[in-house]
Amino acid sequence: MGHVDSDSSLSASVKPRGVLGALRIVCERNGHCRLQDGTQVCFRLIEPEDVAACAAMLVACTPKSLYSRYERVVSEPLDELAGRLCCPDLQTELTVVAEVSVNGTSSLIGVAQLLTDPSHEAAEYAVLVSDPWQSKGLGSAFTDCCLRLAHAWGVGRVVAEFLPGNMRIIRILEKRAFDLYRDMQEHAVSGQKRIADEDADRPVGAA
Q: Which residues bind ligand COA (CB under 6 A)?
A: 65, 68-69, 126-129, 134-140, 162, 166-169, 171-172, 175, 207
The answer to whether 86 and 47 have CB atoms below 8 angstroms apart is yes
Q: How far is the CB of 71 from ligand COA (least distance, A)?
A: 8
The answer to whether 34 and 40 have CB atoms below 8 angstroms apart is yes
What three-state secondary structure class fits 80?
helix
Chain position whose Cβ is nearest to ligand COA: 139
Q: Return the sign of the alpha-carbon dihedral for residues 140, 143, 145, 148.
A: negative
Nearer to ligand COA, 136 or 151 (CB): 136
Nearer to ligand COA, 87 or 159 (CB): 159
Give the separation between CA 37 and CA 44, rounded to whole angstroms: 21
Nearer to ligand COA, 140 or 153 (CB): 140
Neighbouring CB atoms inside 10 A of 7's CB total: 17
Q: How far is the CB of 119 from ligand COA (least distance, A)?
A: 23
Give CA torsion, residues 5, 179, 184, 186, to 10 deg.
0
Nearer to ligand COA, 4 or 95 (CB): 95
Q: How far is the CB of 189 from ligand COA (least distance, A)?
A: 10
Q: How far is the CB of 206 from ligand COA (least distance, A)?
A: 10
